[in-house]
Amino acid sequence: MNPRSLRISLVLPYVLLVSMVAMALGTTYYWAARNNIGLFSDQYMRETASHMAQAVHFHVRGSGSVLEAAFPEGIVTHPDIAQDLNELRTRFWVATSMYANPNDYVYYGNEAGQSIALKRRADDEVELRLKLRPELHRTYYRYTGIRGRVVATGRESGNLDPRERVWYQLAQNTARHVWTGVYIDFTTQELVVTRARRVLAQDGTFIGVVATDVSLREISRFISSLNIGDQGRAFIVERDGKLIAATGLANLGLSVDGKPIRISTENSHDPVIKAAYLGVSGLLDPAGHDPQSGDDQEYRTTVHDEQGRLITVAARRIVDRAGLDWLAVVAIPRDALFVGIQRQIWLALGISLLAVLLTILIGMRIFGRVARDVISLSDAISRIRRGDRHVPIDVRRRDEVGDLARNFQAMQSDLSMDRMTGVSNRAAMDSLLDHLTQDPRGQPFAILFIDLNDFKPLNDQYGHDNGDKALVEIAQRLKTCLREDDLLARLGGDEFVIVARGISTPQALDALKTHLLSRIEAPLHSLDDIPPGRPIHLGAAIGVACWPTDAATANDLLRAADIDMYRHKDFARCR
């Protein structure tokens, strides 16, 4: 045997062995990465559905307080609205100022066919709609200031009897708050839902119904902003299949005569939405869950759409004690979850095998590089799935694996970061609070609930772009006041929460609050087109709650801080 034949006979078994090992390792890495990607995607979908449900609860949470402010339980109410007119004006003014977005409209109708409504037009201007005799049309008035002079502006064209309205008829026979179905507001051409509660006379007999409208415009904007890929869909839907909001899809259409109509999952012409709703609605058992419990339920399933594609679905049933019963659904075609990774792995295997045949060194380097990146991505995804929200995904490729890594980095950021300000979001805060409050040996900590003052006037006068810049600047200022292990989260709107570990004494908390207020109240420098010599300031009310002295659970702790914040805000208004 010549030397060349000898070398071939010695090298060939080794090449074959390395090739088999490479194929085995590549297959193992592929299925491990595929499994972890599937698990992470499932978690991402479930958390996105949970965020959607949280957004709905946050959006409608003030409506109950608005009704109680307009008609507190046990208040003496007369059968004739004229006897309580001045007091009603005052209470309705306060009620519509509490959560002006979205609860800027409060109204009341009684058994005598009378009605009164207050629509907030601006911070200091409202429209009063009054009907003191059932046969008369409502008269519209405008006035400025809580006790401003009333000026008549017109009369309604139709004669609306409150006793014939859906909200009135739903609320009159139940002692609790009730929701109407979602409907199209005839003035704004947007989706609205109404919350109502009956009102009793001093002797306990039914006398009328108070109600408030909740615009769903912001819910639709939030759902449209979600990033779940071109083929994925996120949507909120009523139990009867009518859409409230959806990514990439309008919630209203036009009838043959040009009038706006609701779009349902059935007539949406979107195969993913149709299949996902049918799959989830089949899991709902009305007898197995009481919506009045106020507890959301989670559902997961897989379905096939009209094209035969397998769809992964995660859903959250959104319920509250007033009878709200909606579904938050996230649906992604299964093949869209693995676009790129499958092709890249098999391509890498083919290249590596060819490289092994040409040269073991070059082949192993090529395959090793791909395998290392896939293992790094798989390991990072596994850690994220176990709850670590700050895992770096160190893959710098420019191919499909790199695209996939960057997509998961974007998903990871969405799960824990507020997009506008760059601080943590509600989900990251909830995760930390759950961790801290579930450790019986944990160190005491405090949360500070911050609600900015004068933000809405800034927004209205200088524009939403300046409002966003103000929020970003305030967030950056607050971060400079914190330590490395403290957390700053934006709840939404102009509300922030700080989780300060190891701080529980009144002196330390007062010092931190003073420092925070001084930073917040300093003039803003990031706004555009502000007249020279006119410094713009914001203020804040800060509520504090300490664990475990003020509350034992995360929700109770946050609620205690919220209540304390409103106590400070009310005190500041009375000064």
pLDDT (average), residues 413-436: 84
Tell me what pLDDT residue 288 has: 44
Q: Give kind and range of the element (H or E) at residue 536.
A: none
Tell me what pLDDT residue 28 has: 57
Q: Please state whether the predicted TM-score (pTM) of the whole model is above 0.85.
A: no
Residue 72 has pLDDT above 60, yes or no: yes
Q: Two tokens at 283? A: 């899991």
Query: What one-letter code names the amino acid at 435?
Result: H
Q: Are 223 and 299 in contact (CB under 8 A)?
A: no
Residue 423 has pLDDT above 60, yes or no: yes
Strand partners, 310: 304
Tell me what pLDDT residue 409 has: 67
For the stretch 349-360, pLDDT in tens is: 666 667 666 655
Largest CA distance in the chain: 118
Instruction: Give percent of the chain with pLDDT exceeding 70.
Output: 76
For the stretch 19-37, pLDDT in tens is: 665 556 555 555 555 555 5
Query: What one-letter code names the amino acid at 59?
Result: H
Tokens 């979908």, located at residue: 45
Instruction: Give percent of the chain with pLDDT exceeding 90.
Output: 47
How many C-beta atoms lie closer than 10 Å to residue 247's C-beta? 17
Tell me what pLDDT residue 243 has: 94
Range name among 142-156, 194-208, 271-285, 348-362 with the lowest pLDDT average: 348-362
d(CA 179, CA 467): 32
> Residue 459 — pLDDT band, cuts 50, 70, 90?
confident
> Residue 67 — pLDDT band, cuts 50, 70, 90?
very high
Q: For residue 174, what is the DSSP state?
A: -
Q: Are 47 and 72 in contact (CB under 8 A)?
A: no
Show the beta-strand stretches assigned E in 38-186.
105-110, 115-122, 125-131, 139-144, 151-155, 178-179, 183-184
Tokens 């001045």, located at residue: 86
Tell me what pLDDT residue 498 has: 95
Range name among 336-350, 405-419, 508-522 with the lowest pLDDT average: 336-350
Query: What one-letter code names the amino acid at 313?
Result: V
Q: At what angle do helices 426-437 and 3-70 cross, to 10 degrees?
A: 90
Residue 418 has pLDDT above 70, yes or no: yes
pLDDT (average), residues 286-290: 47
Q: Which residue has the higher pLDDT, 92 or 44?
A: 92
In whole angstroms, how large is the CA radius of gyration of the chain? Answer: 29
For the stretch 231-241, pLDDT in tens is: 899 999 999 99
Tokens 């850690």, located at residue: 383
Q: Give kind and range of the element (H or E) at residue 43.
A: helix 3-70
Tell me what pLDDT residue 324 has: 92
Residue 260 has pLDDT above 60, yes or no: yes
> Residue 503 — pLDDT band, cuts 50, 70, 90?
confident
Q: Closest Cα partner for 536 from 546, 547, 528?
A: 528
Tell me what pLDDT residue 399 has: 66
> Residue 408 — pLDDT band, cuts 50, 70, 90?
low
List b or e across 271-292, with b for residues whose CB sees 16 or more CB atoms inside 10 angstroms. Answer: bbbbbbbebbbeeeeeeeeebe
Range name among 295-299, 392-396, 550-554 with the lowest pLDDT average: 392-396
How many C-beta atoms lie closer than 10 Å to residue 74's C-beta? 8
User: Cα–Cα distances in Å, from 62 out to 54, 120, 176, 192, 493?
Assistant: 14, 16, 16, 15, 14
Tokens 């090449």, located at residue: 15
How many C-beta atoms lie closer than 10 Å to residue 373's C-beta? 22
How many C-beta atoms lie closer than 10 Å to residue 540's C-beta? 26
Residue 57 has pLDDT above 80, yes or no: yes
Three-state DSSP class for residue 381: helix
How many C-beta atoms lie closer than 10 Å to residue 427's C-beta? 20
d(CA 59, CA 49): 15
Tell me what pLDDT residue 416 has: 78
Tell me what pLDDT residue 282 has: 78
Per the prediction, the chain carries an average pLDDT of: 83
User: Cα–Cα distances in Å, from 493 out to 65, 438, 534?
Assistant: 18, 29, 25
Residue 110 has pLDDT above 60, yes or no: yes
Residue 242 has pLDDT above 80, yes or no: yes
Tell me what pLDDT residue 390 has: 52
For the stretch 466-476, pLDDT in tens is: 999 999 999 99
Classify residue 235 as exposed, middle or buried by CB count within 10 Å of its CB (0-12, 13-18, 19+).
buried
Question: Is the backbone of residue 200 left (phi > 0), alpha (psi -120 to 50) or beta?
Answer: beta
d(CA 555, CA 435): 13
Q: Give kind and range of the element (H or E) at residue 365.
A: helix 360-385
User: Cα–Cα distances in Å, from 257 out to 8, 253, 254, 264, 494?
Assistant: 82, 11, 8, 18, 42
pLDDT (average), residues 33-60: 80
For the stretch 318-350, pLDDT in tens is: 999 899 999 999 999 987 765 545 555 556 566
pLDDT (average), residues 132-144: 95
Strands 252-254 and 125-131, by their bridges, are unpaired
User: Cα–Cα distances in Å, from 338 out to 39, 132, 200, 273?
Assistant: 12, 65, 59, 20
Tell me what pLDDT residue 387 has: 45
Tell me what pLDDT residue 245 has: 94
